[in-house]
Structure 1
């Protein structure tokens, strides 16, 4: 596969109390890893809206996008040094509205994970999941103050 440009994606970071919503990816590049629900931003769609749409499509959870947290570059190279994956992910802080996690679309599992379990390192996750969860929690606390 030849890449002509980076792809834009959005991931949704949301909590229900001290539990963060995670999904196990079905497809490469992170197949089998736990991470935040998310996917491609469609033409004409904001990354905020894409995050809310993707979390619903992948987990059945309804979420309200609140604000951008950060951007994450995902660049991977093949054996010959060529770029095989290049995504720019907009990490979006979302508010949990309703729903029970049920895997769908391109995830095999979806669940609320206690932040303490994530901190303990018991899950094999995509890059930056724990730091992003911590950042989101701080931002949520600041929004309440």
Structure 2
């Protein structure tokens, strides 16, 4: 999800970067990817990334999902919005994303790591909880929210 130049500047002032998370449930499991790049390199989270100029939220979620996992899905709803900030050693903000979590209905594919995903996996809620610090912030809460809609 992260690329060089993650800070959007408007009139010289840094701005948060708008991005999407593709949240897919299939057979009572959520799809997670292990990130290759910072922020959160090596940690598990939902596939996602930057919204391209002129791109609609749902299109961005479907595109990022396909690029990172090879999975096809239909974006259906905005689940929530998350504020993700990463601070450097000096306490300065290095990354700041506003993440729109988009619920997507699985259509096809089992998942294969590509783009900036190191690994892909389908996780039950218990397995997500078991990831602990190996998961990005808010992953468990978002998995709980998503799976509660699919009871």
- Relative to the length of structure 1, the TM-score reads 0.90
Q: Show the counterpart of 1:112.
A: 122
Q: Show the counterpart of 1:35.
A: 45
Distance in 2 (alpha carbons) for counterparts of 1:26 and 1:77: 18
Q: Show the counterpart of 2:63.
A: 53
Shift of residue 49 of structure 1? 1.3
Shift of residue 20 of structure 1? 0.9
Contact 2:85 2:95 in 1 (8 A): yes
Q: Show the counterpart of 1:17.
A: 27
Aligned-pair Cα RMSD in Å: 1.7
Shift of residue 123 of structure 1? 7.0
Shift of residue 122 of structure 1? 6.0
SS at the partner of 2:31?
Answer: strand
Shift of residue 82 of structure 1? 2.1
Q: 1:103 to 1:123 in 2, by over 3 A?
A: farther
| Structure 2 unmatched ranges of 5 or more | 8-13
Shift of residue 2 of structure 1? 8.8
Shift of residue 17 of structure 1? 1.3
The C-alpha deviation readout for 1:53-104, integer Å capped at 9, x for no partner, is 1010000000110100111111122233321111000000110011121000
Alignment of 1:1-145 (within 5 A): 3=7, 4-121=14-131, 124-141=134-151
Contact 1:34 1:123 in 2 (8 A): no
Contact 2:71 2:110 in 1 (8 A): yes
Q: 1:58 to 1:2 in 2, by over 3 A?
A: closer
The C-alpha deviation readout for 1:77-136, integer Å capped at 9, x for no partner, is 223332111100000011001112100000110111222212344671000111101111
Q: 1:57 to 1:2 in 2, by over 3 A?
A: closer
